[in-house]
Amino acid sequence: MSQPRAAPAFQSRASFLLIAAFPGLFTLSKFVLWERYGVFDFHSFHLAGLLANAGQIDQLYKPDVFSAQYLQHYGESGQLPWFYPPLLLPYCQFLAFFPVAVAFLVNGFISIAAYYLAVRWVFPDRSRDIIILSALPLVIALGFGHPIILLLSLLLIGYRLTPSSLGAGLLALTLCAAKPHLGGVALFLLFSRKLPKSLLPFILIGVSIVLIFAALYGWQVWWLFLQSISLATSYLEGGTINQQWISSIYAGALALNAPSLFAIMAQGAALILYCSIGAYLFLSEKSDQFWVVAGLAAVFTSPYLMFYDLVFLLFPLALVVNRMHMRKARGWFYALFLSEVGLLVLLELRPTAAHGFLIFAAFTTMLFIGKARYAPKP
């Protein structure tokens, strides 16, 4: 439940509109200056759509074959393979109907609109403050071109729907699991918490999705995806793709030459620590306690967290802000917003894996401070 409405931290409507428009303006500027940018993450989604539209599903999960087609379609070589489940393919096929630059623009505006509408629907009394604090993290995700903002919107929708319809909530989180190591964590936690009531809807949803995508792309698409999971792990462990953007404590420890076992233990300790603190701070708000833990676990479970996955922390951020006395928390609000400006500066410096985790940790610590100091006491 929302607390009685308080004045937003940014009371000027003009300031709010300018900040809220920034992700859209950034997307538009990148479209206008498209020739200055090389091949980046968005091209893999566009290329997946092109191949799916051409009926070449078998080429999606062959990294060498997939990567070799960047030069043909985009004029530059690329090394980003496709390791995602088929859940994303219909959206990628839609984007592939446009030239890649136009598709990037379309994806950006759809993502921004979906997230803003979800925030307005789920947190109507605090939507302005949440959107302001979301604007700059959204820019990071948009800069990479990953459709993760849509998956974040599905997480918000799942949170909103679950109390009234467990099946609808499970469906939203199943679609969110198009990025398994983030959305799949939240899905698993909800499924486990609601057992045995969640078992039947989960089976029905799972079977339906398997059948629907098998009908669209053939049974082999699921087999190819399952085969690609171990291959994806080898690519990540071998530093073949996006190594500089992996931002987990596991990757950070390895970057500091720590033994693998120590890195795994450090990752687990961080996960337990952050989830425990989140559970404690929401001890008197049982309706949100599970969700803040699920949101933190979705981020800190994965040893292959990417820098743009920071946007998933906007979910626990929204849960914190929704409970705040924003007038009292105005200084905290401005401090967090300014720190997000710093994130964009660090992005240009191409942070190492160790620095990437510190950014995630600092952002989460700011959430905890805000909840501990400025949320109303029961």
Nearest alpha carbon to residue 183 among 152, 222, 161:
152
Helix (H) or strand (E) holding 77: none
Residue 262's pLDDT band, with cuts at 50, 70 and 90, is very high
More confident residue, 244 or 111: 111
Mean pLDDT value across residues 76-92: 85
Q: What is the pLDDT of residue 11?
A: 63
User: Exposed, middle or buried, 88 (CB in 10 Å: 0-12/13-18/19+)?
Assistant: buried
What whole-number distance in Å separates Cα of residue 115 and Cα of residue 358? Answer: 26
Mean pLDDT value across residues 283-290: 91
What whole-number distance in Å separates Cα of residue 346 and Cα of residue 334? Answer: 19
Task: Note if the bond before 196 is cis, omega within 30 degrees.
Answer: yes
Residue 239 sits at φ, ψ, to 5 deg, of 70, 25
Which residues on adjacent β-strands are paired with residue 306? Answer: 246
Q: What is the pLDDT of residue 237?
A: 62
Mean pLDDT value across residues 324-328: 79
Is residue 345 a contact partner of residue 295, using CB atoms and an 8 Å limit? no
Is residue 8 a contact partner of residue 326, using CB atoms and an 8 Å limit? yes
Mean pLDDT value across residues 204-229: 90
What whole-number distance in Å separates Cα of residue 204 and Cα of residue 195? Answer: 15
User: Exposed, middle or buried, 18 (CB in 10 Å: 0-12/13-18/19+)?
Assistant: middle
Q: Which tokens sit at 154?
A: 């599905």
Helix (H, G, I), strand (E, B) or coil at 225: helix
Is residue 111 a contact partner of residue 27, using CB atoms and an 8 Å limit? no
What whole-number distance in Å separates Cα of residue 165 and Cα of residue 172? Answer: 11
pLDDT in tens, 55-73: 899 888 888 888 888 888 8
Domain ranges of the chain: 33-374
pLDDT in tens, 128-148: 999 999 999 999 999 888 899
pLDDT in tens, 192-214: 999 999 999 999 999 999 999 99
CA angle, 93 then 46 then 20, to 5°:
100
Residue 343's pLDDT band, with cuts at 50, 70 and 90, is confident
Overall pTM surpassing 0.95 (yes/no): no
pLDDT at 171 over 60: yes
pLDDT at 39 over 70: no
